[in-house]
Amino acid sequence: MIRVDSAARTFGEVSVLEDIDLRVDPGEFVALVGPNGAGKTTLLRVINGLLDPDEGEVTLDGDPLSELSSRAVSRRLATVPQDTHVGFSFRAEEIIEMGRTPHRSRLDWSDDGDPVEAALERTETTHLRDRRVDDLSGGERQRVLLARALAQEPDALLLDEPTASLDINHQVRVLNLVADLVEEGRAALAAIHDLDLAARFCDRLVLLHDGTIAAQGPPETVLRDSQLADAFETETAVTRNPVTGTPTVAALSDRPDRDSHVHVAGGGEPGVEAVRSLWKAGFDVTAGPVPAGDAVVSLCDQLYIEVTTAPAFRQPGEALDDALTNARAAEAVVVTDGPGGQLVAEATDSTVQVRAEGHGSVAARVDGGRVDDTAVPALVTAVTEQLDGGIRSNSPGKNAPHK
């Protein structure tokens, strides 16, 4: 349906799009994702004919866009813009009726209201039909413009940030509607900032960066930490949403580099809190032994932390030996009351230990002597104070291999 071959576009001396190859077939919902300024809106404007490519070609059903009249393009392709401003105080229904313009001749303006009524119903805007568009909220105007696009009865939809002005309820409803239209055989291409929504509703993602396609494919193959880091210039953690089963992306703030290795022994909730707190604070963290399936394993996988696992309900065995290698190489060991923690504690008396106990409390222990109890949020402080207090010399040090 929609095909873009080697398209490029510049504004003055600035290259905005370069060597873009893209195809969107009927029955496919594709999202353009990427940072601000990546070229998403420009690409949509090239596809709908508002901008001519400097190089390359856009075709609709095999017909070059440059050879089609604007009326012919509008019969095949409808656009929902990001800017919802309307220059005149039309009623919402009048805005939606404008979607019928490509299907009417100059002499025939007979009423063909069925598509308009269908668009009102599908976008849940029937109650807005008599209201002036400048009296509507941004989200309501967004839905009215979507209804106008549906009234065109196009084969394909282009949507520029269709959920930007919507609350979470209507975000899901609008994208569900687009997904339903795609199931009916239409093609849809949408620029979507929200990576989680794009992964949840779209069949394929196209990641744009500096005007080029950095990656494209199913959400699982595009939403990878390394690719997102290059495009968005920030560290991310990509996990799987337990409800939707689709990737979810968390942007992470910059971490300090403490240049110290801390090992977390034991699992369960205390282990999760310890790993998360120490990792966020910039420590080089390892963990284990923990039973396979423990929450610590999941967290470590998400953060690319080395973790030693053992079969559940069995003695750790070889896993304990591997964990002890990391623990003895660490400058501090955090021992939780979860599985495996005590075994490591008994074998690493010479290192700094910060014991994470039940109900969110921790206590530091140096060479067998306990020091002040504190709360889990102060775990980082407890570890740091022990390391900065000269206890580093009791351990093999940060240069010992552990990965």
**Strand pairing partners for 71?**
none
How far is residue 161's CA from residue 142's CA, in Å, rounded to a whole number?
Answer: 10
In degrees rounded to 5, what are phi and psi of residue 34?
150, 170
CA–CA dist 341, 301 (Å, integer):
19
For the chain, what percentages of helix, strand and coil (3-state, to nearest 5) are there? 40, 30, 35
DSSP state of 292: T
Q: What is the model's pLDDT at position 19? A: 97
| Cα radius of gyration (the chain) | 28
DSSP single-letter state for residue 91? B
> Tokens for 197?
């929504």
Structure tokens at 228: 């997102």
SS (H, E, C) 339-384: CCHHHHHHHCCCCEEEEEEHHHEEEEEECCEEEEEEEHHHHHHHHH
Residue 63: predicted pLDDT: 96
Full-model pTM: 0.76
What backbone phi and psi angles, to 5 degrees, belong to 218?
A: -60, 155
Looking up tokens 């953060």 gives: 303
Q: Which residues pair with 333 in a beta bridge?
A: 263, 353
Query: What 3-state class would DSSP assign to 9?
Result: strand
At 259, which amino acid appears?
D
pLDDT tens by residue, the chain, 403 residues: 899 999 999 999 999 999 999 999 999 999 999 999 999 999 999 999 999 999 999 999 999 999 999 999 999 999 999 887 887 889 999 999 999 988 876 655 555 558 999 999 999 999 999 999 989 988 899 999 999 999 999 999 999 999 988 899 999 999 999 999 999 999 999 999 999 999 999 999 999 999 999 999 999 999 998 899 999 998 888 988 889 999 999 988 777 878 888 999 888 888 888 898 888 888 999 998 988 889 899 899 888 899 999 887 666 667 888 888 998 888 888 887 766 677 787 777 645 555 555 444 444 444 444 433 444 456 677 677 766 664 443 433 333 334 4
Take residue 330 and report the two structure tokens written for it: 């660490």
C-beta of residue 208 within 8 angstroms of C-beta of residue 201 = no
Would you say 230 and 214 are in contact if contact means Cβ atoms under 8 Å apart? yes
H helical segments located in 4-89? 40-47, 70-76
**Separation CA 338–CA 300 (nearest Å):** 16
String of DSSP letters for 171-210? HHHHHHHHHHHHHTT-EEEEE-S-HHHHHHH-SEEEEEET
HEC string for 132-157: EHHHCCHHHHHHHHHHHHHHCCCCEE
Looking at residue 386, its pLDDT comes to: 65
Domains of the chain listed by start with CATH number: 2-251 (3.40.50.300), 261-394 (3.40.50)
Q: Parallel, antiparallel, or unpaired: how do β-strands 156-160 and 187-191 relate?
A: parallel
In three-state secondary structure terms, 282 is coil
Instruction: Indicate the helix (H) or strand (E) that contains 214.
Output: strand 212-217
What's the pLDDT score for residue 103? Answer: 85
Work out whether strand 29-33 and strand 187-191 pair parallel, antiparallel, or are unpaired: parallel
Buried b (16+ CB within 10 A) or exposed e, 252-266: eeeeeebebbbbbbb
Instruction: State the residue for tokens 């997102």.
Output: 228
Instruction: Reduce the DSSP state of residue 279 to 3 states and report it.
Output: helix
- Give the strand pairing for 247-252 and 235-240: antiparallel
CB-neighbour burial class of residue 369 (10 A; exposed 0-12, middle 13-18, buried 19+): exposed
